[in-house]
Structure 1
């Protein structure tokens, strides 16, 4: 049995994840944490920076037709949540099977296989944990799955950023070819701390296009779509203009 995991930030080019560097790179210097501040509130500050610089807002790219390249079983279960950490709980037992996934294929701007200096080794992580969005793939490797990471095609090279996962894992830049397997389950995460709320309508369309019926992870806590920060900025400007008259 095989698991497909898709992180929405796969479609959101950012210089820190290997997209081309440019004069607007500083606008993407975003501290990231999976909490309410970084998933929702902080985007108002970030959109103001883009508007003040006169730079068009970035949107997700290349997600149209993405599902069509994969073989997804008619009985496949599709789970979704804001954080990829929940992918650590999707096992063949969710499908009535047993044992590990034979393969886990991740399409993501990040490898999620543990990052130094959080842990120095896989064995250290096994002793101390915890499972998070940064290391959930370790749980599947520990269970006996082979993990494959497919980085987005907008990434310029494997040299930037330099990847040092805690486990042996196949890492490649996506060339558009699909793995030669049939997927029995799919997990999709929105990555609200990495992808801005003005892309939430795109995410909804991507979720709806999935060939199997999606089911939200019961423990998932989110607002979707998130508050429209573009509308908030427009209201701010109107209030300022009104006060100046």
Structure 2
């Protein structure tokens, strides 16, 4: 049995994850954390920076037709939530089977196999934990699964950023080819701290296009779609412009 995991930021090019470095890379220097501030509130501050600079808002791309190259079992389930951390709890037992996944294939802008300095080694993580969005694949590796990471095609090089996962893992830049694997379960992560709310409509369409039964992870906590920060920013600008006209009278 095999498990397919897709992080929505796979389709959202950023310089910090290895995408092309343009003239406005500083706009993407985003601190991230999986809390309400970084998933929702902080995007209004970020959109202000884009609008002030006159740079078009970044969008997701390349997700259309993504599912077509995967062989997904007719009785498979697609689980979804905002954080990839919940993928650590999806095992064959969720489907009434036993044992580990034979393989876990992750399509993601990040490898999620643990990062220093949070943990010095896999053994250090085994001793101290916890499981999080940045290390959830360690749990499947510990359980005996083979682990594969497919980085997005917009990533320019495997050397930037330099990846140092805590476990042996196959890491490649996705070439768009089909895998000779049948997937028995799918997990889709919205990554709201990484991907902006103006892409939420595209995420809904992507999730609906997956040829499997959608099931929201029970512990998932999110607003979807999130508040429209584009309208908020436009309203702020109109209010400021109105105040400026009144002040000049």
TM-score by length of 1: 0.99
Alignment-derived partner of residue 221 in structure 1: 221
After superposition, the C-alpha distances for 1:114-146 in whole angstroms (9 at most, x for unaligned) are: 001110110110010000000000000000000
Secondary structure at the counterpart of residue 225 of structure 2: coil
Q: Is the Cα contact below 8 Å between 2:47 and 2:230 reproduced in 1?
A: yes
Shift of 1:237: 1.6
Which residue matches 2:93? 93
| Structure 2 partner of 1:164 | 164
Matches within 5 A, 1:8-47: 8-47=8-47
Which residue number corresponds to residue 105 of structure 1? 105
2:235 pairs with 1:240: no
RMSD: 0.6
1:66 corresponds in structure 2 to 66
Give a deviation string over 1:175-200, Cα, whole Å, max 9, x none. Answer: 01122110000000000000000000
The Cα shift of 1:22 comes to 1.1
What do residues 70-102 of structure 1 show as CA deviations (whole Å, max 9, x unaligned)? 000000011000000000000000111101000
Separation (CA, whole Å) in 2 of partners of 1:19 and 1:242: 39
Deviation at 1:240, TM superposition (A): 1.7
For 2:44 and 2:188, the matched residues in 1 are separated by: 25
Partners of 2:51 and 2:228 in 1: CA distance = 15
- Unpaired runs of at least 5, structure 1: none
Alpha-carbon shift at residue 213 of structure 1 (Å): 1.7
What is the TM-score of this pair, normalised by structure 2?
0.97
Q: Which residue of 1 aligns with 2:138?
A: 138
Q: Does the residue aligned with 1:241 lie in a helix, a strand or coil?
A: helix
Aligned with 1:48: secondary structure? helix
Asked if 1 retains the 8 angstrom alpha-carbon contact of 2:69 and 2:179, the reply is no
Per-residue deviation at 1:242?
A: 2.3
Question: How far apart in 1 are the matches of 2:16 and 2:178?
Answer: 26
Counterpart check, 1:129 vs 2:124 = no
